[in-house]
Structure 1
Amino acid sequence: MDSELFPRERAQVAPGAVHVPDWVDPAHQRELLRACRDWARPPAGLRTVRTPGGGTMTARQVCLGWHWYPYAYARTVGDGDGAPVKPFPAWLGELGRRAVADALGPAPARGAAYDIALINFYDGDARMGMHRDADEKSEAPVVSLSLGDTCVFRFGNPRTRTRPYTDVELRSGDLFVFGGPSRLAYHGVPRVLPGTAPAGLGLTGRLNITLRVSGFPDAT
């Protein structure tokens, strides 16, 4: 009941990890959704990610800037249609920089340019196991934006996939940033809550836009 009566407050979930509710307003959520739908179209569109052990991730993915596959990056979709990865737009990088400044405050060390986006689509049955975002060379904070259905986001620690961890409810428009001592923390999505997306958004399921700085020598 309280969550319906009072605005949700921003929270530091762990050192360097901050949840900012309702950071993206409804109009900009719709703009982001339109962009995601364009990015999801082939070539280099939405795909099912296959793990080295032969399994598949239940969340489907499209990448911008650099193509991620378990557990490396490339400029082409080698585990899909082989097309060049879609470019990373400058406006998305600016959104990432603003998100970090709003969540963690401005700092010279956070001036690196965002050049990777991993966009994951979750239907009602999709999950994401506990993992670390450890394939980049940069220690710049990770930016996570949520659209559509609410999910349970499990944010842990840098040492183990198990406890201690904190479960955070991420709703459409929420921002989550993690850097510093939490940059390599394990995290995952154990559950999506179907039917919880805003009625005016026009999305069934959940989209997560994750922005990262590659730190690769040939990054532009």
Structure 2
Amino acid sequence: MTQLTLAPLSPAVAPALILLGRDDAGKAHASWFDGEDAAPAKNAAKLMGMAALAVEGDELRDLAIRLPKGKLFTSGRAFVPFVKGETFERLLNHLPEPLKARPVMIPQPTRASGQETSANAPADPTKPVPERPAASRPEDWSKIAVGSLVLAREGRDDGFFEARVVEVISEGVYRLSWRDWLDYPPFTRKAEQIALLHPKAPA
């Protein structure tokens, strides 16, 4: 009987770099980028205040394939989803000591007059940070409308994340935008591809 041997992933599509950090709520984020996106991903890490970790060695490769694949925006920032705290802590062990000694945070963009502030602009402590507008949480599918907060995912193997309904295209078809990733363009999902939040779930 002939034994099949799987060919290794091409370096261009295999995990080459991991971006990781915590957001302003303390939630852990991490994702991997392939060799073709490694250089712009490093620039995105600098722009977003995240750590960039080269995938070297078996342990890091094993951790990388457990992470969601990241995406790059035309703005130079990156889409880095949530990850389990245990996985994040294991990644932290591979960072250089200077980075271990300080929190790794993702500055969250704010909006004023409908525009995103520059990621490099210093915050003015005399001005209040604009609060994110509250969104309705429909308790059943018939109540989904523009402004509703629902759950969606990017791909079949990805987790669900908060998204706002920006347009009701037709019955059971919605135009959404991610709540926490403002650079990501709006996308379309059918009703069976989204989920409702529990009314008592934390914001």
TM-score with structure 1 setting the length = 0.25
Which of the pair has more CA radius of gyration?
Answer: 2
TM-score with structure 2 setting the length = 0.26
Q: Quick one: higher RCO (CA 8 Å, sep 6+), 1 or 2?
A: 1
